């Protein structure tokens, strides 16, 4: 029997979407392009409670974020408290504009980690990416949060990330050095732009688009030679998401991964039955099998154009 590379009885990470509403319209995001077609809404506490009660026995890491700004949800802190009462590890990703909500009360919720997307290395860079003028506000929120963390002694992992673009490539290292030097901030990450499975055109911002033509040709030639040389070998499956994580949208819809912002590959709904019945159900099994066998085509709505999936 072929040994499975991942345990498939339950995921280790679950992305829970408090809301798919956002207060920003970033240039690289599906919110600004009008491609999110599902209804906007806020997760009810009843649905959230159902999720936590259903998954707490296998202790996944819970991330309160999927396709919106979680701080817009009025019950966010209650969500965190309930998940922590179930002894779950809880993380949150935010754009940082609303961090000062209720005087930085987020620090007293018991949350384990907070990932703040600053969006740019400076005001001009931030404005280009976020199409907003909140850089100074977000940066000050981050510095205040780090200061309050130090003063209170609370154990929370603070991470700041920024997307790399062809406009900020020369300022990224200085930015990382500046933010990393702030006591209380644990990590600074530079993220690549996503095209959300081909839904968003990021070529105007992409670092790759700023490469000179000769370099692109050399890379393409190298990839072609590698495919010819390794053509007889079976490439490993690069997609870990379908084995390790799942997303649950604000209305309870279960999706295979965080890239599926529209619920295109909806597997079921948490209100209709146990989560693990869906996680180990026929739809998920077919998707995993398809990824392992590499029978996906570029026309697959999510996995085909995804840069995280198997490339043929």
The 10s digit of each residue's pLDDT in 84-104 is 999 999 999 999 999 998 889
Asked if 45 contacts 24 with a C-beta cutoff of 8 angstroms, the reply is no
User: Would you place residue 126 in the very low, low, confident or very high pLDDT band (cuts 50, 70, 90)?
Assistant: confident
116: left (phi over 0), alpha (psi -120 to 50) or beta: beta
Average pLDDT over residues 218-238: 52
User: Would you place residue 164 in the very low, low, confident or very high pLDDT band (cuts 50, 70, 90)?
Assistant: confident
Higher local confidence (pLDDT), 7 or 71: 71
Is pLDDT at 147 greater than 90 in this prediction? yes
Q: Which stretch of 48-52, 57-61, 180-184, 227-231 has the lowest confidence by average pLDDT?
A: 227-231
Is pLDDT at 237 greater than 70 in this prediction? no
Higher local confidence (pLDDT), 310 or 172: 172
Asked if 70 contacts 19 with a C-beta cutoff of 8 angstroms, the reply is yes
Is pLDDT at 238 greater than 90 in this prediction? no
Asked if 257 contacts 19 with a C-beta cutoff of 8 angstroms, the reply is no
Distances 272 to 8, 253, 268, 269 between C-alpha atoms, Å = 21, 10, 8, 5
Mean pLDDT, the chain, whole residue set: 82
Domains identified in the chain and CATH numbers: 13-211+238-293 (3.20.20.70)
User: Would you place residue 300 in the very low, low, confident or very high pLDDT band (cuts 50, 70, 90)?
Assistant: confident
């Amino acid at each position: 029997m072929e040994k499975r590379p991942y345990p498939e009885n339950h995921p280790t990470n679950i992305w829970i979407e408090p809301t798919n509403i956002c207060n920003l319209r970033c240039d690289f995001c599906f919110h600004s392009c009008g491609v999110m077609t599902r209804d906007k809404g806020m997760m009810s506490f009843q649905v959230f409670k159902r999720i936590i009660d259903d998954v707490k026995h296998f202790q996944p890491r819970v991330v309160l974020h999927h396709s919106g700004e979680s701080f817009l949800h009025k019950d966010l802190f209650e969500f965190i408290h309930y998940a922590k009462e179930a002894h779950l590890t809880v993380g949150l990703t935010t754009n940082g504009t609303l961090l000062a909500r209720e005087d930085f009360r987020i620090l007293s919720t018991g949350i384990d980690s907070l990932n703040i997307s600053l969006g740019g290395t400076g005001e001009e860079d931030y404005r280009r990416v976020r199409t907003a003028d909140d850089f100074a506000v977000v940066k000050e929120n981050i510095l205040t949060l780090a200061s309050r963390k130090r003063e209170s002694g609370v154990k929370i992992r603070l991470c700041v990330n920024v997307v790399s673009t062809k406009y900020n490539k020369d300022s990224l290292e200085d930015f990382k050095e500046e933010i990393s030097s702030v006591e209380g901030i644990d990590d600074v990450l530079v993220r690549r732009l996503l095209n959300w499975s081909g839904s968003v055109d990021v070529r105007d911002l992409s670092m790759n688009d700023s490469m000179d033509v000769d370099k692109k040709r050399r890379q393409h030639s190298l990839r072609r030679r590698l495919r010819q040389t390794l053509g007889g070998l079976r490439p490993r499956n690069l997609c870990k998401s379908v084995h390790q994580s799942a997303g649950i949208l604000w209305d309870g819809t279960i999706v295979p991964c965080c890239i599926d912002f529209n619920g295109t590959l909806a597997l079921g709904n948490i209100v209709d039955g146990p989560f693990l019945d869906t996680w180990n159900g026929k739809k998920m099994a077919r998707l995993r099998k398809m990824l392992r066998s590499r029978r996906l085509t570029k026309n697959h709505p999510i996995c085909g154009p995804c840069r995280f999936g198997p490339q043929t």
